[in-house]
């Protein structure tokens, strides 16, 4: 008997598996193979066990094993006239081309997000949506292929996001440069400069802002105005969300001491005069 392989495989009851295999029948086949990791099974054995598990007909088991192999590495070989199947691990070449993340890192992202879409909150179990690992700052725009830059999105929202950023791909270099500044004002300001003359969606500003808990990019934009910048905003309803689009009209040079101290002084000044007025 070979030792169990595929230490990084998701557990049959996990949310992650539910997101990888959205059909019950596929998950049943997975469970059977998962529980027999150390011991190859014949197709007949797989059929019997799937039926024992959920009482479903086994007419589709062959096809399900095939489908399972899109996602997982299921080794199969023939001895005499009998085929054997053994679940080895995840497919070493993930089907999405981004695939630099390790299986363990993907699992941590799933856990961190509770298998929920970060935009709409839907889950595979409750809503039968497929969840994918999404790069918050897209790789094309210079985002790192690391787990800190990853979130979960349902397929639908992932497509919507890709469409929204596709139009900025030709300015990827300028955007990725903006993203790498240490100061949040510089990140947002340099992004606006890179995209001068176009409307920049708040989503893209959010990405570049990289602030914890999404921060408050609209406040940062106000602060840019303190520095003498002119940024206009246009709001548009898109489904349930209202999206804001920002256009840079005028930029100033960055202060020598950096934008942070200038903004803080201005804010303190404003608070003091407000106090004086009310007191």
Task: Provide, rounded to whole angstroms, the least separation between the CB of residue 243 and Zn ion.
Answer: 16
Nearer to Zn ion, 75 or 127 (CB): 127
Residues 6 or more apart in contact with residue 269 via CB below 8 angstroms = none
134 binds Zn ion (CB under 5 A): no
Q: What is the spatial distance between Cα 276 and Cα 278, in angstroms, rounded to a whole number?
A: 6
CA pair distance 239, 216, nearest whole angstrom: 22
Q: Determine, following the binding rule CB under 5 A, whether residue 154 of this chain makes contact with Zn ion.
A: yes
Q: Tokens standing for 75?
A: 């080794």
To Zn ion, the closest distance from the beta carbon of 86 in angstroms equals: 35
**Applying CB under 5 A, which part among 72-80, 153-161, 174-182, 239-247 lies near Zn ion?**
153-161
Q: Residue 203, interface with Zn ion (CB under 5 A)?
A: no
Structure tokens at 235: 């709001």
- When binding is defined by CB under 5 A, the residue of 15, 16, 134, 157 that contacts Zn ion is 157
In angstroms, give the least distance from the CB of 245 to Zn ion.
22
C-beta closer to Zn ion: residue 120 or 227: 120
Minimum gap (Å) between residue 12 Cβ and Zn ion = 25
The minimum distance between CB 241 and Zn ion, in angstroms, equals 12
Token output for 80: 């005499």
Q: Report the nearest approach of Zn ion to the CB of residue 156 (Å).
A: 6
Strand bridging mode 72-79 / 82-90: antiparallel
Pick the piece of the chain touching Zn ion (CB under 5 A) from 37-45, 93-101, 130-138, 154-162: 154-162
Among the residue ranges 83-91, 156-164, 200-208, 268-276, the one whose residues contact Zn ion (CB under 5 A): 156-164
For Zn ion, give the closer residue by CB, 161 or 168: 161
In the complex with Zn ion, the residue whose CB is nearer, 1 or 163, is 163
Cα 245 to the center of its chain, rounded Å: 22
Give the rounded distance of the alpha carbon of 19 from its chain centre.
13
| Sites for Zn ion among residues 104-123 (CB under 5 A) | 117, 119-120
Cβ proximity to Zn ion: between 26 and 154 the closer is: 154
Q: Report the 3 state secondary structure along 72-117.
A: EEEEEEEECCEEEEEEEEECCCCCCCCCCCCHHHHHHHHHHCCCCC
φ/ψ region of 215 (left if φ > 0, alpha if ψ in -120 to 50, else beta) reads left
Number of residues that bind Zn ion (CB under 5 A): 5
Question: Which residue lies nearer to Zn ion by CB, 131 or 184?
Answer: 131
Q: Which run of H or of E encompasses 44?
A: helix 43-54
Distance CA 153, CA 158 (A): 6
Q: Are 133 and 105 in contact (CB under 8 A)?
A: no
202-209 and 217-226 helices cross at what angle (nearest 10)?
90
Residue 279 beta carbon to Zn ion: minimum distance, rounded to whole angstroms:
48
What residues does 117 pair with on adjacent strands? none
| Max CA separation in the chain (angstroms) | 93
Residues that bind Zn ion (CB under 5 A): 117, 119-120, 154, 157
């Amino acid at each position: 008997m070979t030792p169990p392989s595929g230490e990084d495989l998701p557990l049959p009851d996990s949310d992650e598996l539910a997101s990888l295999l959205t059909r019950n029948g596929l998950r049943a086949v997975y469970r059977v193979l998962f529980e027999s990791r150390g011991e190859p099974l014949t197709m007949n054995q797989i059929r019997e066990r799937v039926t024992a598990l959920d009482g479903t007909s086994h007419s589709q088991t062959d096809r399900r094993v095939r489908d399972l192999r899109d996602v997982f590495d299921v080794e199969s070989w023939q001895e005499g006239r009998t085929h054997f199947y053994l679940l080895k691990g995840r497919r070493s070449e993930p089907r999405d081309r981004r695939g630099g993340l390790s299986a363990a890192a993907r699992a941590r992202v799933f856990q961190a997000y509770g298998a929920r879409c970060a935009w709409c909150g839907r889950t595979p179990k409750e809503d039968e949506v497929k969840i994918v690992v999404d790069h918050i700052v897209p790789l094309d725009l210079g985002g790192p292929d690391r787990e800190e830059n990853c979130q979960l999105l349902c397929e639908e929202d992932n497509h919507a996001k890709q469409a929204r950023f596709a139009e900025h791909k030709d300015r990827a270099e300028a955007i990725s440069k903006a993203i790498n500044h240490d100061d949040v004002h510089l990140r947002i300001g340099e992004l606006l400069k890179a995209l001068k003359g176009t409307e920049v969606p708040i989503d893209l500003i959010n990405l570049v802002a990289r602030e914890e808990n999404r921060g408050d990019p609209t406040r940062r934009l106000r602060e840019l105005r303190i520095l003498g910048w002119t940024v206009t905003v246009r709001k548009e309803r898109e489904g349930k969300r209202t999206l804001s689009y920002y256009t840079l009209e005028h930029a100033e040079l960055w202060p020598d001491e950096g934008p942070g101290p200038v903004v803080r002084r201005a804010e303190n000044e404003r608070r003091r005069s407000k106090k004086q007025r009310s007191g």
